Structure 1
């Protein structure tokens, strides 16, 4: 879902920019930051780029299938319309 490497990178950037005196707490801070970011992103219910791309492809295939079915229905309706006058004449 969410790229853990990106979260780790963000947490490291935050901890590396801390004042020297606080760097001894960097590991704890980094861990808590990663956890907090992960929790917030999970709450936001984001989808990964991979999942987005997969669903986009599913949608494209669904649209193509729908267009094929619409064309088939139109052909069947045209054939039915051609047969109706003959049925009425009998």
Structure 2
């Protein structure tokens, strides 16, 4: 069963009224202001963020390997110096 025609007409009139209301203008202006504000901020995309996170993770892994290697070399150097004193 279809709604009576006057119900459809009322719905159309309400939609037209809402489109031309000051509330709709306020919403448009608020969206424009918000978009402008976001445009002025120094933001990155999610993709850029994810790439940088991966780069940082690799750099941390490399740093950990280098720190371990330095510790290993320092230990070897200390042992060599100690062995040199015994002779």
Report the TM-score, using the length of structure 1 for normalisation. 0.59
SS of corresponding position for 2:20: helix
Structure 1 residue ranges (4+ consecutive) displaced by more than 4 angstroms after TM superposition: 32-35
The alignment covers a number of residue pairs equal to: 70
The answer to which structure, 1 or 2, has the higher relative contact order (CA under 8 A, 6+ apart) is: 1
Q: Aligned match of 1:84 in 62, 81, 85?
A: 81
Structure 2 residue 34 is the aligned partner of structure 1 residue 49? no
1:51: how far off? 1.0
Structure 1: which 5+ residue stretches go unaligned?
1-15
Q: Distance in 2 between matches of 1:70 and 1:19?
A: 66
Structure 2: which 5+ residue stretches go unaligned?
1-14
Bigger CA radius of gyration? 2
Q: Distance in 2 between matches of 1:20 and 1:65?
A: 58
1:62: how far off? 0.4
